[in-house]
Structure 1
C-alpha cells in the first residue's frame, strides 16, 4: 500500500509509510490524527476533500502549516507568540 504525503516543498509524494500528522490544505493547519477538532470536521463531510498528511512536524512547518490550537496547544502557543 502507498500513501500520499506532502513534502517540505508542499508537493505530494508517495510513501510506503502513512503520515504521522494530518492537516487541512486550505486552512494550512496540521495536527495529530486523533485530534478531536479534525475528527468532528471530518464527520461533517467536506473537510476530507482538503485533508493532507505529513511524515513529521518539521515537514509540516517547512511546508507553511501551523500547529492546531486544539491538539497541539503548546506548539500553537509557541507559534503564536513567535508571530508577534
Structure 2
C-alpha cells in the first residue's frame, strides 16, 4: 500500500507533495492561515464556499513566509502581534 501524500504550499506559495500532513490551513483568496480546528473556517467549510480556496502549510513559519497572515478568530495573540508589526495600508483618498 503506497504511503499517503498531502498537497501543501511551500514558502513561495507553490504546491508540493508531502509525506507529512499540514499543521495549519489557509484561505488562498484572503491570504490568511489558522488552526485546522478554527471555528470560523469550520463554519465556512460547512457552508461550502471555502473548499475551493482551502490550502495547507506544513507549519506556521511556512504560511508566514508565503505571505499569509494569522486568523483573528483562532489565533488572536498571533493576529494581534501581526497587526502591530505589519505595514499599514494607505487610506483611501476622499472623493
Q: TM-score, normalised by structure 2?
A: 0.86
Match runs of 1:5-84 below 5 Å: 5-83=8-86
Secondary structure of 1:59's match? helix
Larger proportion of helix = 1
Gaps of 5+ in 1: none
Shift of 1:46: 1.8
Partners of 2:85 and 2:8 in 1: CA distance = 27
The structure with the largest alpha-carbon Rg is 2
CA RMSD of aligned residues (A): 0.7
The structure, 1 or 2, with the larger RCO (C-alpha pairs under 8 Å, 6+ apart) is 1
Structure 1 consecutive aligned stretches of length 4 or more whose deviation exceeds 2 Å: none
